[in-house]
Structure 1
């Protein structure tokens, strides 16, 4: 199995090359994305240059119209990366620790700017009593982007925002079918349901009656659920949380113009900070930057499924890549209470955390938790056996066989959930390698995600066979009879590796 897994990894590298123009980035429109691994000189178009120039002039004008606060923009500019979209770059050589931006709070999208927005500010007082911060900022954004448009003080910035939701939250049902089997499908549905509940809690019908000049008449179409999803996506993908040092409001969620256009890199290159005296956000360089090369920002460490869900792209290189998996103690397990207590005591409670299938090796916490779940009564009540399981060591040959059977079942269940096998994905990629008729950007994202996940799962199966070798065939048979008595043949097929070969 090991050689076959390594072979298919090469094909995933091919898909990145074949679909490189759009696999790791949005196609213009100001989408957030991952930049290439090396610095990139920026290209420009006349229309884009004019929009960017207008935005940079607006940034340097100061705070909001009624503010006298100064905005500082250092040796950093907005440019266009060929094939990737907009991003930040160094106009001159920049040294680590240099101040790049100082943006007054009034110029950012925040609860403070919403309160200062005339009649909308009055309505905002009602929203604060029951809406989430993201929902309030989303409504504020809709007011500025659609209600005021060119009259908005933010218009030069708003013009550069994307108008599509490339996150899976904006995909059609047919497009979502392409990620069948991935956890991302369930996550997308859950976030949509949450956003629907947040939208309903806003009671837009009441707002239309109470504040017709803002929410009623021709303005009503600006606050539909569809537009709300767009606004929530912008806020969720671009806002940052800053520590203010205040006891009343210890953190502030803000969307900072200019900073929000920085592309992702796993290595943090920018450090935003709150300046309470100036009521402004400052952004410092966390490393040296060479003139004309890109300046990036770390969006956080997370699997690619979350990047596609929150930002609408998949990183080209992702050190945090994995497939998340949940565990639970069976409801009918007579040792359930004991095992759940042990898991809770050692930070392995599956009710409060997930575990991971990793590209290389086996997640130590996943293995430890499964060993605890697989314990018999003697093992669960033996401190030495518990210590061995938590430490990552073998508890017993019987426990190893049961643990391996449970984990192989988990991997197989994932692989069986996808609508295609890895081989079928490979054939599709090879067929498109020399084609001028590329599939849609969203299909390419889906294809890359599911191929990465399948490779991780197959590599994990391979790692399990190496890490927990079968010591006794009778123990394997007993484990399948005990744990999977209603699918004994399938359990044995997994134990022999047959199940996984058909998915490669």
Structure 2
């Protein structure tokens, strides 16, 4: 789920944060403080200071930004190479934290939980304790719910384009499976926790971990690593928001015994400071983190292999059975997508092969080397690409009709997120069509 070079978390908000399903980001966004948040963050800051969290210059503080919502603001200018945040090991929530705190419950279980399941259960147990929990000041600033599709109603889910809906449903199914295993575990080994393990409680804790965790490998995590998912929650650090062009390094510093973020970017005083979750398209950002980005250079629109075959049938292209076999054998049915600049390499290969005549098909491997088969093949390929994109634009138009009668100001947060996603997809397709036709 996570890689070593990027922080992986998103900071969504319901009660404690204004909606930001569409992040119209300006890298140097200005801040606007909201007073009712101050008490929670003062308590978090005081708790961390009592537990040996010491900020060294440059100092960061929690703030509300007009373009991104809640984030971290610098109180000094920052130069490249600076350490933004350094969180002591004992303030990280890891699988080892779970073992040392409530390990007696987990050692009774004859199956293996994943790190995320174990940490999700731990969060629920600690939240139940309220102020008596060591982790209360941190848990108290976590969002009360998230904007990932798992929190959508059935009606809201059906607003999503089919390709995104399919991935969202797969993710939701995975969460249901995790919930079932967690329920079995608690029934068997921790029955006093059963009252707080409703599905709504579980998805809150699951996405608190899923959207906010950092990569952290520790040998003592292995008891839970059925999925080899090395993760940790890092209070305060997880207030940092995502920008696709943030240039950072995240790792555990053995010498300082702290998890640290270093930046190669520069910031002015009072700027918002960013990290990167990775080079993700908007489908991934929506399904995993619950937001989308306009002008995302990593964004793509995906096509199914079957949709290409349907267009080939409509164009009355021949020998489709043989062409399908060739493409599936070479595993070219994957990564079929376009971006604003044009078509993916796999999509170009598939289109050219589908547009070949029988004689050309014998030399289909030439397209893997970037070779042009014939002028006729190129003409058909361009026509098929245009048809594919126009068909998808038609689907965007149809999807947008689902929002008729809804006003932007009265849409739910989830409705607005689905609407924004479709609008961004339409813009990407329009740019791709221009690229294909030029």
TM-score range normalised by the length of the shorter chain: 0.7 to 0.9
What is residue 302 of structure 1 aligned with on the other side?
280
**1:177 aligned residue:** 158
Find out whether 1:225 has 2:179 as its counterpart: no
TM-score for both structures, normalised by structure 1: 0.72
- Quick check: 2:60–2:73 contact (8 Å CA) kept in 1? yes
Query: Does 1:44 pair with 2:33?
Result: yes
Unpaired runs of at least 5, structure 2: 1-10, 310-318
TM-score (norm 2): 0.81
1:29 maps to 2:16? yes
Alpha-carbon distance change, 51 to 246 in structure 1, aligned in 2, over 3 angstroms: closer
- 1:210 aligns to 2:182 (yes or no): no
Which residue number in structure 1 is paired with residue 349 of structure 2? 368
Kindly indicate whether structure 1 or structure 2 has the higher relative contact order, using CA contacts under 8 Å at least 6 residues apart: 2
Assess, with a 3 A threshold, how the Cα gap between structure 1 residues 421 and 50 changes in structure 2: closer, same or farther: closer
Q: Is the 8 A contact 1:32 1:311 kept in 2?
A: no
Deviation of residue 305 (structure 1)? 2.4
Matches within 5 A, 1:101-500: 101-117=85-101, 120-125=102-107, 129-145=111-127, 147-179=128-160, 181-202=161-182, 204-213=183-192, 215=193, 220-242=194-216, 252-327=230-305, 333-334=321-322, 336-341=324-329, 343-344=330-331, 349-350=332-333, 353-382=334-363, 386-387=365-366, 389-400=367-378, 402-404=380-382, 406-408=384-386, 410-411=388-389, 413-418=391-396, 420=398, 437-466=409-438
Q: CA deviation at 1:35?
A: 6.5
Alignment of 1:80-91 (within 5 A): 80-82=64-66, 84-91=68-75
C-alpha distance in 1, partners of 2:404/2:104? Answer: 58
Residues 128 and 275 of structure 1: is their aligned pair in 2 closer, same or farther, counting only changes over 3 Å? farther
**Deviation string for 1:104-154 (max 9, x for gaps)?**
23311210111121xx32223456942222222211221222x22222211
Deviation at 1:170, TM superposition (A): 0.5
Please tell me whether the aligned partners of residues 29 and 163 of structure 1 are also in contact (alpha carbons under 8 angstroms). yes
> Which segments of 5 or more consecutive residues in structure 1 lack a partner in the other structure?
1-23, 63-69, 467-504
Query: Helix, strand or coil: the match of 2:144?
Result: coil
Secondary structure at the aligned position of 1:36 is classed as coil
Aligned partners of 2:106 and 2:189 also within 8 Å:
no
- Shift of the alpha carbon at 1:240? 1.8
Alpha-carbon RMSD: 3.4
